[in-house]
Amino acid sequence: MKQKIGIIGLGNMGGAFYQGLGKIFPAEQLWGYDKNGSDKVKNFADSARDLVEQVDVVILAIKPQSLGDSAAELKDVCQSKLVISMLAGVPVGKLQKTLGAKRVVRCMPNLPIKVGQGVTGWIASAETTDDDKKLARKIFSAFGYETEVAEEKMLDAITALSGSGPAYYFYLCSVLTAQAQEMGFNEEEARAIAENTFQGAAKLLEGGNLSSEEWVQAVASKGGTTEAALDSFAQDKLDEVIRRALEKAGKRSEELS
């Protein structure tokens, strides 16, 4: 039987999921619903409840604060469904209790799923079957790297590392852009230098020939400019600064849960 998959919430993440799943599942298997409507979904449901009644797998991509309102509408129709939730800070147990569902997968994807280069950490309830997990992996793999975590608290770590991670990359890129302008390049040139430098480095790492540590050594000639910059990082204990930031991000994720 071809399982039908429905997405409730077609914003940034839900919309990205719909587009990505359209590449691995026939259009007739995909359903969508958003309270603001959508002209990009072939099978658009009349309501969230109507969607759940039509499908086998429900992907929740709504805002966490909307869960209560959705539960009132969905609680008596979710029992037999596989529910995949990307609601930040909402534990599996709460999803089961609120929605009346037993087979629940909680996931934490990051923004690069929009370009098929995302990272998705996930965990499944005890009632979730092996076939459910196989399907979840197929879904998440459509958007990049996926990893099942052993404990739910590890999703807080995923949030700090990969969920927030793209912002760290963008931040470093903005710092390099600003410094390039300080050194005399115009805004357009500075941005191009920073963006192409980071994107080129990412492509090298993607090749898999060397680890990130090995690439550092490959770039840093003895007594050269890169070594001078790396020595400055070490003196300022940049690794400790980053570690503290990640710990704070992880702690904040726990608080939101």
Would you state the pLDDT for residue 75?
84
The strands making up 104-109's β-sheet, listed across from edge to edge, are 30-33, 5-8, 57-60, 82-85, 104-109, 118-124, 144-148
The answer on 178 and 146 residing in a single domain is no
Q: Residue 44: what are its φ and ψ, rounded to 5°? A: -95, 120
User: Is the residue at 99 inside a domain?
Assistant: yes
CATH number, residue 212: 1.10.3730.10
Would you state the pLDDT for residue 229?
95
Would you state the pLDDT for residue 235?
96
Distance between CA atoms of 153 and 162, rounded to whole angstroms? 15
User: Is the residue at 222 inside a domain?
Assistant: yes
Domain count, the chain: 2
Would you state the pLDDT for residue 1?
53
The answer on 169 and 48 residing in a single domain is no
Q: Residue 145: what are its φ and ψ, rounded to 5°? A: -85, 140
pLDDT along the chain (257 residues), means of 10: 90 92 92 86 92 96 86 89 93 93 96 94 97 96 96 92 94 97 97 96 90 94 93 95 94 82
Q: What is the pTM assigned to this prediction? A: 0.87
The secondary structure of 6-32 as a DSSP string is EEE--SHHHHHHHHHHTTTS-GGGEEE
The answer on 110 and 196 residing in a single domain is no
The secondary structure of 206-239 as a DSSP string is HT-SS-HHHHHHHH--TTSHHHHHHHHHHHTTHH
The answer on 230 and 173 residing in a single domain is yes
User: Is the residue at 118 inside a domain?
Assistant: yes
User: Is the residue at 86 inside a domain?
Assistant: yes
Would you state the pLDDT for residue 217?
94
CATH number, residue 21: 3.40.50.720
Tell me which residue range forms the domain holding 71: 5-150
The answer on 143 and 19 residing in a single domain is yes
The answer on 205 and 104 residing in a single domain is no
Would you state the pLDDT for residue 214?
95
Would you state the pLDDT for residue 37?
81
